[in-house]
Structure 1
Amino acid sequence: MHLALIDASLGTPHAKRNFQREVDATLTIYDANEGEIPPPIGHPEPVETDDGPIQSFDGVIISGSQSSVYDDNRPWIQPLSRWVEGAIADDVPLLGVCWGHQLLAQILGGTVKGGSYELGYVEVTQETEDPIWTNIPNPFTVFATHSDHVVEMPPGATLLASNETGVQAFRHEQVYTVQFHPEYDRQTATAMIHSKTTLSEDEVQAALDTCTDANVEAARPAKRIFDNFLDHVESSSTPA
């Protein structure tokens, strides 16, 4: 199985390392902030990858980012959004993580706005039964780091998970999204917390206090989201 990974992070190594470790599929990575996006959907020429040319992608994952999906000063967001619109129209399975969750919500007609930080290991409750939750307990523990929120779901979307901060996951036809980071390891979690220079020392310490052995272990089942998404991709009959 071959997926495109849209790395929207701004030059940090975490996204590539974490997704390559957790996603049991061949990934061709596109650095979105460098203007890299996959070829147009339906492009007649094979896609050139490190493993040679392929005719299509089976699915797409969109990573988190330190930017905001509504930031007009990021010139790469608009062309990426147009590509994603085409992928959605072509029924390509997509999984959006954190920033990817917000981008897909915005493209599908939802609303994303800035708000308070959710930072650290948190608990999330499943709202709807769905194959994406196979072998994942309810509620479950995950790592979150974001101050933007999906405040209005896209029309026709199904709420899959939430907590006190709002929407944590939704589905819209072939599109899955999660606000949290199932791909994170402890190293990434603590590095991300320390990077929040706009927060007070007390806020940073409160987030660090959630990085316990118990929470790190409790977050492991959420990584099954990737296997469940790959099962969804495999059942899809429409490659990009």
Structure 2
Amino acid sequence: MEPRLALVNASFDDANTLRNFRRELDAEVAVHDARAGEFPEPPAYDGLVITGSRASVYWDEPWIDAARAWAREAVDSDTPALGICWGHQLLADAVGGTVEPMDEYELGYRTVRHTDDPVFESVPESFTVFTTHSDAVTDLPDDATVIAENDYGIQGFRHGNVVGIQSHPEYDRETAETVARGKDLPDDRIEAVCADITEDAFAESRAAKRVFDNFCQRVVR
């Protein structure tokens, strides 16, 4: 039986985001627009998936305040939840972690190392995945576990049924290049990142997409 998932979309690029998540999630997906203040009732779904966003979790905006309050309720409900990039940071904030701006923007295909967590089943211990973020989870409470890291710091955590993943395993090559070219970074850095968005790099990154299958398989009631 397909799980019923709520996709909480905080993206500023609905077309790429929705295409990517609908492709990767083997589930019945109901989309909720976080920026419009639309948040699901967690118990109504088998699981929750929260997308990335150009916003920062600590911005003082009404929809972000609402998202933070909803995320705390979602954690308290014990509904399985998977946060990607901004979603990872939102869930980390909800469980009592700290999200802060980074000294250096992480952008491009990177190597990430994970621990033996069920969400990474069949994913190589050291894997390639596309990353793009200028904020990071810098601290977690004692009852949360870091499940992935790289040279930039925490790349994943677990807190009970809540999992956060900082990278973007859902990205296809089109999305990766579109996102990279939209960054306010020096042209030479953007061109270097885009030059690395090759078919080989994308093929290598496909192993990370298994996190979605693993999540879906574990939320079926």
Shared fold (TM-score greater than 0.5)? yes
**Larger gyration radius, structure 1 or structure 2:** 1
Could you tell me how far 1:133 is from its partner in structure 2? 1.3
The partner residue of 1:147 within 127, 134, 142 is: 134
CA distance in 1, matches of 2:185, 2:141: 31
Aligned to 1:10: 12
User: Where do 1:54-73 residues align within 5 Å?
Assistant: 56-72=44-60
Would the aligned equivalents of 1:108 and 1:155 in 2 still touch at CA under 8 Å? no
User: Where do 1:124-163 residues align within 5 Å?
Assistant: 124-126=112-114, 128-163=115-150
| TM-score after normalising by structure 2 | 0.95
SS in structure 2 at match of 1:17: helix
Would the aligned equivalents of 2:75 and 2:94 in 1 still touch at CA under 8 Å? no
Question: Deviations along 1:144-170, whole A, 9 cap, x unmatched?
Answer: 010101111233111111000000011
Would the aligned equivalents of 2:68 and 2:93 in 1 still touch at CA under 8 Å? no
The question of 1:165 aligning with 2:155 is answered no
User: Where do 1:180-195 residues align within 5 Å?
Assistant: 180-195=167-182
Would the aligned equivalents of 2:92 and 2:140 in 1 still touch at CA under 8 Å? yes
* Structure showing the higher helix proportion among its residues: 2
CA distance in 1, matches of 2:119, 2:172: 20
Give aligned-pair identity as a percent: 46
Residue identity in the other structure for 2:203: E
User: Where do 1:31-42 residues align within 5 Å?
Assistant: 31-39=33-41, 41=42
CA distance in 2, matches of 1:92, 1:189: 30
Question: Deviations along 1:99-130, whole A, 9 cap, x unmatched?
Answer: 0001111111111111111101111011x211
SS in structure 1 at match of 2:14: coil
CA distance in 1, matches of 2:77, 2:126: 33
Residue identity in the other structure for 1:216: F
Residue identity in the other structure for 1:33: R
Residue identity in the other structure for 1:183: E
User: Where do 1:1-240 residues align within 5 Å?
Assistant: 1-39=3-41, 41=42, 56-72=44-60, 74-115=61-102, 116-126=104-114, 128-196=115-183, 198-234=184-220
Superposed CA RMSD: 1.2
SS in structure 2 at match of 1:10: coil
Question: Deviations along 1:31-76, whole A, 9 cap, x unmatched?
Answer: 111121114x56xxxxxxxxxxxxx21000000000000000x211
SS in structure 2 at match of 1:81: helix
Higher deviation after alignment, 114-123 or 9-18 = 9-18
CA distance in 1, matches of 2:142, 2:8: 24
Aligned residues: 218
| TM-score after normalising by structure 1 | 0.88
Residue identity in the other structure for 1:8: A
CA distance in 2, matches of 1:154, 1:4: 26
CA distance in 1, matches of 2:35, 2:194: 28
Would the aligned equivalents of 1:106 and 1:154 in 2 still touch at CA under 8 Å? no
CA distance in 1, matches of 2:152, 2:11: 23
CA distance in 2, matches of 1:134, 1:17: 24
